[in-house]
Amino acid sequence: MEFIDGSTLRDLVKARQLSAEHALSIVPHLCDALQYAHDQQVVHRDIKPENILISSDGVVKIADFGLSRIMGNETQQPMLTGTHQIIGTPRYMAPEQLERSRGVDHRADIYSLGVVFYEMLTGELPLGYFAAPSKKVEIDVRLDEVVLRTLEKEPQRRYQKASQIKSDVQSLTSSRHPALARTLVHDPQSGSKNEPEKSPQHPTSNIKQTSRRQKLHWHSKNLQPDYCSHGVSFFNASSDHSNHYFAGRYYRYLLALR
């Protein structure tokens, strides 16, 4: 067995040593490890902070494949559990895994990764009715859609590949600050762009709080000013134009909340 000189992710979460920036740097490595396992048709079935090791030089590894199974091999017999026993850790398990341990596919691991992702950002578990991460901590609100998509109850509504999560996270963190994407607020009446007001409790925040029922229109170069409403519009200020895609999706998400 390989010796890892470091600690588990649980140790870091428990000690509150994880900043949003650090958490976002860990997620892509977890996605790489999960994607490799899934490409080999292996489902881990017990993704949780205790099974994620981080070495002293920052290498991230997923451990404890004792409950893993080969996808498509429904005849595989459980070695350590009873016939109708739940396999995994309930607080991190996908809904379908709680209902039936056998027969789940790689998307159960993606849900578990979403629970870990949420916990790394907020220090809490997404149990019952839970708020979006940006309501708990000062992070880019666009990360909400990534995290919440991994936590979709229906497997077909989640990310279908761990590599897709990595791609979206890296696109969002490509701006100058990986935890808080710089957002410019445009006032159509004055025609000026200003930085959002900073919260006195969180001096590093670049997120302007708005009403849940307020329509927010995100602008790219292809959008015209007459699309804005309530006198406020938002611009993607990063150099990565792929962020316009997330802006549009988040805008539609907000409209659905009206």
Compute the distance between CA of residue 119 and CA of residue 133 in angstroms, rounded to an integer.
9
* 3-state DSSP of the chain: CCCCCEEEHHHHHHCCCCCHHHHHHHHHHHHHHHHHHHHCCEECCCCCHHHEEEECCCCEEECCCCCCEECCCCCCCCCCCCCCCCCCCHHHCCHHHHHCCCCCCCHHHHHHHHHHHHHHHHCCCCCCCCCCHHHHCCCCCHHHHHHHHHCCCCHHHCCCCHHHHHHHHHHHCCCCCCCCCCEEEEECCCCEEECCCCCCCCCCCCCCCCCCCCCCCEECCCCCHHHCECCEEEEECCCCCCHHHHHHHHHHHHHHCC
Q: Which of 46, 140, 144, 168 is catalytic?
A: 46
168 flagged as catalytic: no
State both tokens at 89. 């850790």
CB 110, CB 150: distance < 8 Å: yes
Task: Name the phi and psi angles at 84, rounded to 5.
Answer: -110, 20
Active site residues: 46
